[in-house]
Amino acid sequence: MQNRKPRVFFVMSTNDYSGAEAVNFSIIKNLRDKYDFCWVSREGKINERLREENIEWIKINKLSIKELRSVIRKYKPDILHATDYTASVICAPFYKKVHVISHLHNNSPWIRKKCAYSYLYKYAAKRVDKILVVSNSIIDEYVFADCFMDKMINVGNPVSRRDILMKVDGCRNKKFDICCVARIAPQKNPKRFLDIVFELKKNNDSIKAVWVGKGEIEAEVKKYASELGLDGNVLFAGYQKNPWSYMAESKIFMLTSDYEGYGLVAFEAMTLGLPCVVSRVGGLPGIVTDNCGKACGSKEEFIKECQCLLNNESYYSKKSQEAIMQSVKLDNIGKYNERVSDIYKEIYEKQK
């Protein structure tokens, strides 16, 4: 390598902070001694976190080929690290000038079929150096995966028990029976979450649930909660800088997503001893076993598992202990950082 550190730009289609952004922050925190990182995005909630972590930021008004071309000309990055499908498509045209990594954090339903979106990503995939995925489910489901097997690498997600435990100051009272930490977005199917709480309320009128996060269908979901008569049972806590404090004050973690990539938030919950009741999608079945919770295929399975956990103390205690043990097995922060660093080094040393 040259004397200077390679410049890696995270190119973002979002301006918020959620799972994908958390992964980027982890990479930057652990590899900034080897690489110069920069964040390219619109202004938004992410900026507060960028300032806290002292991460260089380049403002764009819109993620477009035109604006990214200006960024590349002015700042001359060595690697563009595109963190979703949209950013990958925007970065791909610059493959002759700069190295490009496409990093996929979820398996959107359209990847399973031949359609405009899957063909558009196929165009991008031809032009990137590497395609990083967070679970084998993305490779298994992508309709054109066979064309890019030499580029696709399952890197998983960086998960660190130490980082989570540092955010929670000791034991907490269990204020909530069920919690979810996620965007209030169609992908997460928050109405299914409310339907399950509604059914559980029939046997426990005082059941308490909390949803931590904001999103584009928040008003619609809150209205639906009111229609179900759950205003006194479900707290919408909004965006929280420390969502783990809400996890620590909950008994069960529940995620009702229609699709997922890795499911990082389930690891975080298990680290705090929460049995996880999750959808049987994406990488979640590989994280959540029957020993530490349940990956469910139907609303009825969700309801039954939650009832068992809430009504049977020994059943709950065993799964809570197993959740902690599962998080210990999954902890991989050191190996993850080494792998990403090796990928950066490999593509940086290629000649353009």
225-241 tens-digit pLDDT: 999 999 999 999 999 98
Ranges of beta strands (E only) in 219-268 are: 234-238, 250-255
Rounded Cα distance, 201 and 204, in Å: 5
Other beta carbons within 10 angstroms of residue 187's beta carbon come to 16
The label of the residue with tokens 């069960």 reads 252
**Residue 30 to residues 37, 38, 229, 261, 337, Cα–Cα distance (Å):** 11, 14, 46, 22, 7
Tell me what the mean pLDDT of segment 200-216 comes to.
96
Has residue 1 got a pLDDT over 90?
A: no
287-305 tens-digit pLDDT: 999 999 999 999 999 999 9
Has residue 151 got a pLDDT over 70?
A: yes
88: its two tokens: 């990958």
Rounded Cα distance, 246 and 63, in Å: 33
Has residue 214 got a pLDDT over 50?
A: yes
Tell me what the mean pLDDT of segment 64-76 comes to.
97
H helices present in 126-217, as ranges = 136-141, 161-165, 190-201
Nearest alpha-carbon partner for 272 in 235, 242, 245: 245
Least confident residue range of 2-6, 34-38, 198-202 = 2-6
Rounded Cα distance, 301 and 109, in Å: 22
77-100 tens-digit pLDDT: 999 999 999 999 999 999 999 999
List of domains in the chain: 7-158+332-348 (3.40.50.2000), 161-330 (3.40.50.2000)
Contacts (Cβ under 8 Å, ≥6 apart) of 120: 89
pLDDT value of position 301: 98
pLDDT value of position 288: 97
Has residue 115 got a pLDDT over 60?
A: yes
Has residue 172 got a pLDDT over 80?
A: no
pLDDT value of position 352: 63
Rounded Cα distance, 103 and 211, in Å: 27
Percent of the chain with pLDDT over 90: 88
**Residue 169 to residues 13, 136, 268, Cα–Cα distance (Å):** 34, 35, 15
Tell me what the mean pLDDT of segment 255-260 comes to.
95
| DSSP H or E stretch at residue 117 | helix 116-125
Rounded Cα distance, 234 and 220, in Å: 15
Contacts (Cβ under 8 Å, ≥6 apart) of 163: 26, 333
Has residue 322 got a pLDDT over 90?
A: yes
pLDDT value of position 169: 77
